[in-house]
Amino acid sequence: MEKRKCDHSLTTSQAGAADLTLIVRQDRYSGFASLDNRGSEFIGPYQVQAGLTVNGLFEISNRTQLQLVTASQTNELRFFEFEHQQQITAEGTNIAANLRRTDSQPGFTLRDLDVETESSSAELLLSTPFVRSRTRNLYGHVSFNYRNSATDILDVVKLFDTPQLSGMLRFE
């Protein structure tokens, strides 16, 4: 969980006026690790997750995250995600890039079918605020996602290459 801290100072430069200076700081690093029983007979039964977030890795106004997930039988599930988000304008336009990789060989009754899956994806996202006010906000989002997946069942391979372009407007 990210923590933000705010220091302030109040100075007077002239009679009847004041200057308020706010300095907002956030933790540079945060992370987590978990062990749970959310798996199944096919992938699990236990799953281990770990993640790390670094704020301001390259400069201010950015966040870099890494997440890893595996099952107690590690060949049954391996997941990796890398994400970097960067604010690129003072008005709040952000760009983000995600890379994901999943490898799986489910067990239990699927073991006899020799099921194997591999999936890789890359995503580029751009979001910008068009209207920002205390009572309403309008944001635009555009993303390009490319996914390459392969599933092998009894040596029959199904391949999926899926490029996807999407856009969205969000009103609050």
pLDDT, tens digit, 9 for 90 and up, residues 115-148 = 899 999 999 999 999 999 999 999 999 999 999 9
Which of 29-38, 101-110, 117-126 has the lowest average pLDDT? 101-110
Long-range contacts of 124-128 (CB under 8 A, 24+ apart): 124/95, 124/96, 124/97, 125/94, 125/95, 125/96, 125/97, 125/98, 126/93, 126/94, 126/95, 127/93, 127/94, 127/96, 128/89, 128/91, 128/92, 128/93, 128/94
pLDDT in tens, 42-54: 888 899 999 999 9
Question: What integer is the mean pLDDT of 140-164?
Answer: 92
Structure tokens given for 85: 């988000």
Structure tokens given for 145: 């996602």
Residue 50 backbone phi and psi in degrees, to 5 = -145, 145
- Percentage, residues of the chain above pLDDT 70: 97
| pTM of the shown model | 0.78
